[in-house]
């Protein structure tokens, strides 16, 4: 008859079971010491190799990726050697020193009349020669892996621990009690085995030495020695060797775990540093790290672009002092260090360049490395952002809701607008007098204008986003410029108003081809409208900034845009023309932002003929093998 056991009975029975002991648990763990000193169940004790086994790459020659590593981690990992290699080399050096000391002790004893046996002197000399040669000659002592010493028959084990055990036992056996005592030397092989070999081999080494000491004690008893004294001395020496072997193994295990932790911390710190670098470099906001001496320690590409009128400034480190355009920024940094604080909202700093151009930056400052509550900071982090971008972002947020409303209104306007157009067409058929025909033409013109406004509003209305594709911007720019020149009936040739500079090789960017075509046509129309009729008055230039960005610039020789107009360039419904809708540049910016591109305006130096420049910075992407095409640019008459 069987009975069902409740889950509570099963749990109670399980609680009374004795947990199984690991196959190779630490002696300290068996004695009830904290688990910090016990070896992991899948750890080094069960493996046939040293606890210091590791195959990390040497990092001594590599620069530390992160500034957040502890000094101890850099010291452990930055040496270029594992703990096993360092300790193994220390033991080899100790053996060489001990060999020289043995020869010296024999010589000193002979001088003072206590001459050791001839055989013992030969053993000391032979041991000194062997130990010194292993220490001096690199070929004799290569960088052995930890698994080598874990085998009893390996050359390295026999040449180090094996030789030590044999030589020191022989010295103890050949030396009379009245001469030198060589039992203390047996600590070296036991210590070396406890640190560099598995626990079983270390205990085996101590066992062999203890048995040898007991055998020599028994031999001494046969020769007439006192039984109790000799066996007690041998037993105590053997027990001490066992303790040394256990302690050395536990300390070695702890050292190995510390090194493993240090290397793990180094790898995590490197990954974190790479992640931080990637995030900072992709930020649209400029970041500068400046010390008290005014030296820029780090700068991301956005900050380097804000500090100059074109391109990027030099890579960090570089000094802030000595550049006239940065004088206002230098004063702000000095003020931040002296005050030790900065408004959370930031302050505006105006950079005045040699070309006469100005740029207003919103500067926010944060401090690092605080020593105590009253000390000033050693480093400060500057966050830079163009005020125009800040204002544009603020206006964009305010216009977001209005844009959705405008899109709905524009959609509702289409139906009555179509009715007005049809009714006007019917009226035009019946118009007989010149005044009637003039009125119908006025209605037609204004209907077409309203249609364009509705189409522009619907273009930027929120809708389904197109997936960006990799296009050859070289071919697209050449094609758009050629078609635009033919559309506006622009004479082509060497003295043409339009000049195009594009590279010979294809350049891949992420963009929708139709949207990029619309952006370029809008910029070309604006440039032609404000440019003169001189040769090269309108210029299109495609350049590759770096591996991540390609820039298309449309320049004209018209008068520079006044600052009071420039700040509103990309706002909707702002236009300097009476019949302009004010949506052209706004649509261009919206289309660029959809594909991670950036459009902006800047004034070129006075020495250049084409001072007005609108540029579009696009994300680069490698072209597929079939994506490269020849630029369809034909600017010949």
| pLDDT tens per residue, range 57-89 | 333 333 434 444 445 555 555 555 667 777 888
Distance CA 32, CA 636 (A): 93
CA 37, 42, 43, 48 torsion-angle sign: positive
Report the pLDDT value the prediction gives residue 511, as an integer from 0 to 100.
92
Report the pLDDT value the prediction gives residue 16, as an integer from 0 to 100.
47
Token pair of 516 as six digits:
């990029």
Task: Report the chain's terminal Cα–Cα distance, integer Å.
Answer: 109
Report the pLDDT value the prediction gives residue 39, as an integer from 0 to 100.
35
Report the pLDDT value the prediction gives residue 473, as an integer from 0 to 100.
93
Domain ranges of the chain: 85-267, 284-390, 392-460, 469-619
Query: In this predicted model, what pLDDT tens digit does every residue of 237-283 receive, in sequence order?
Result: 889 999 998 898 888 888 778 877 877 787 888 888 788 788 888 88
CA 398, 401, 406, 409 torsion-angle sign: negative
Report the pLDDT value the prediction gives residue 33, as an integer from 0 to 100.
34
Identify the three-state secondary structure at position 555: strand
Query: In this predicted model, what pLDDT tens digit does every residue of 425-481 receive, in sequence order?
Result: 888 888 778 888 888 888 888 888 777 777 766 665 555 556 778 999 999 999 999
DSSP designation for 622: P
Same topology for domains 284-390 and 469-619, yes or no? no
Q: Which residues touch 126 (CB under 8 Å, ≥6 apart)? A: 167
Strand pairing of 347-352 and 318-319?
unpaired
Angle at 584 between CA 582 and CA 586, to 5 degrees: 85
pTM of the model: 0.41
Report the pLDDT value the prediction gives residue 324, as an integer from 0 to 100.
84
SS (H, E, C) 147-215: HHHCCCCCHHHHHHHHHHHHHHHHHHHHCCCCCCCCHHHHHHHHHHHHHHCCHHHHHHHHHHHHHHHHH
Query: In this predicted model, what pLDDT tens digit does every residue of 372-388 receive, in sequence order?
Result: 555 555 788 889 988 88
Report the pLDDT value the prediction gives residue 61, as an integer from 0 to 100.
34
Question: Which of 134, 128, 251, 232 is closest to 185 using CA atoms?
Answer: 128
Place of tokens 């053997």: 238
Identify the three-state secondary structure at position 353: coil
DSSP designation for 383: E
CB 266, CB 59: distance < 8 Å: yes
Query: In this predicted model, what pLDDT tens digit does every residue of 175-189 receive, in sequence order?
Result: 776 566 788 888 899
For the residues 320-333, what does the mean pLDDT come to? 87
Assigned CATH for 284-390: 3.30.450.20
Q: Is the pLDDT of residue 591 over 60?
A: yes
Assigned CATH for 469-619: 3.30.565.10
Percent of the chain with pLDDT over 70: 75
Query: In this predicted model, what pLDDT tens digit does every residue of 32-60 receive, in sequence order?
Result: 333 333 333 333 333 343 433 433 333 33
DSSP designation for 620: B
Strand pairing of 538-544 and 612-619?
unpaired
């Amino acid at each position: 008859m069987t009975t069902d056991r409740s889950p509570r009975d099963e749990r109670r029975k399980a609680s009374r079971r004795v947990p199984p002991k690991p196959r190779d648990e630490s002696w300290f763990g068996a004695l009830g010491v904290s688990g910090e000193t016990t070896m992991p169940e899948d750890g080094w004790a069960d493996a046939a190799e040293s606890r210091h086994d590791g195959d990390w790459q040497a990092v001594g020659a590599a620069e530390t990726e992160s500034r957040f590593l502890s000094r101890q981690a850099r010291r452990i990992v930055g040496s270029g050697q594992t703990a096993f290699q360092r300790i193994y080399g220390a033991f080899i050096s100790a053996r060489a020193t001990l060999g020289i000391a043995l020869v010296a002790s024999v010589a000193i004893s002979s001088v003072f009349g206590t001459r050791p046996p001839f055989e013992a002197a030969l053993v000391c000399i032979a041991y000194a020669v062997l130990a010194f040669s292993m220490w001096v000659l690199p070929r004799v002592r290569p960088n052995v892996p930890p698994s080598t010493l874990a085998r009893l028959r390996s050359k390295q084990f026999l040449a180090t621990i094996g030789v030590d055990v044999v030589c020191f036992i022989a010295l103890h056996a050949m030396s009379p009690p009245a001469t030198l005592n060589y039992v203390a030397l047996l600590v070296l092989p036991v210590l070396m085995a406890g640190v560099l070999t598995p626990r079983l081999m270390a205990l085996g080494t101590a066992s062999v030495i203890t048995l040898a000491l007991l055998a020599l004690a028994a031999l001494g008893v046969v020769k007439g020695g006192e039984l109790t004294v000799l066996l007690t001395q041998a037993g105590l020496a053997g027990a001490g060797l066992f303790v040394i072997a256990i302690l050395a193994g536990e300390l070695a295990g702890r050292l190995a775990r510390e090194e493993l932790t240090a290397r793990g911390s180094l790898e995590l710190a490197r990954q974190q540093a790479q992640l931080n670098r990637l995030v900072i470099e992709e930020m649209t906001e400029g970041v500068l790290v400046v010390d008290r001496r005014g030296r820029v320690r780090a700068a991301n590409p956005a900050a380097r672009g804000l500090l100059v009128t074109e391109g990027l400034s030099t890579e960090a480190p570089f000094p802030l002092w000595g550049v006239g355009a940065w004088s206002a920024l230098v004063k702000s940094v000095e003020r931040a260090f002296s005050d030790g604080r900065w408004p959370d909202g930031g302050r505006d700093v105006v950079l005045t360049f040699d070309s006469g151009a100005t740029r207003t930056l919103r500067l926010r400052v944060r401090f690092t490395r605080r020593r105590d509550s009253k000390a000033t900071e050693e480093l400060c982090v500057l966050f830079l952002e163009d005020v125009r971008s800040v204002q544009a972002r603020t206006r964009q947020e305010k216009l977001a809701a209005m844009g959705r409303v405008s899109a709905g209104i524009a959609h509702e306007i289409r139906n009555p607008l179509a009715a007005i157009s049809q009714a006007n067409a019917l009226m035009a058929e019946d118009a007989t007098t010149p005044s009637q025909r003039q009125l119908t033409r006025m209605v037609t013109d204004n209907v077409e204008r309203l249609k364009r406004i509705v189409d522009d509003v619907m273009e930027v209305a929120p809708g389904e986003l197109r997936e960006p594709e990799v296009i050859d911007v070289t071919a697209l720019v050449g094609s758009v410029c050629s078609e635009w020149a033919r559309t506006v009936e622009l004479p082509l040739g060497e003295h043409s108003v339009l000049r195009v500079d594009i590279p010979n090789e294809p350049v891949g960017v992420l963009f929708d081809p139709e949207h990029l075509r619309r952006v370029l046509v809008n910029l070309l129309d604006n440039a032609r409208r404000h440019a003169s009729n001189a040769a090269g008055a309108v210029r299109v230039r495609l350049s590759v900034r770096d591996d991540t960005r390609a820039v298309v610039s449309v320049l004209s020789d018209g008068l520079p845009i006044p600052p009071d107009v420039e700040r509103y360039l990309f706002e909707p419904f702002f236009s300097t023309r009476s019949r302009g809708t004010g949506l052209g540049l706004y649509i261009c910016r919206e289309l660029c932002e959809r594909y991670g591109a950036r459009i902006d305006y800047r004034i070129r130096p006075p020495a250049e003929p084409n001072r007005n420049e609108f540029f579009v910075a696009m994300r680069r992407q490698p072209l597929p093998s079939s994506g490269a095409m020849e630029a369809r640019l034909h600017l010949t008459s």
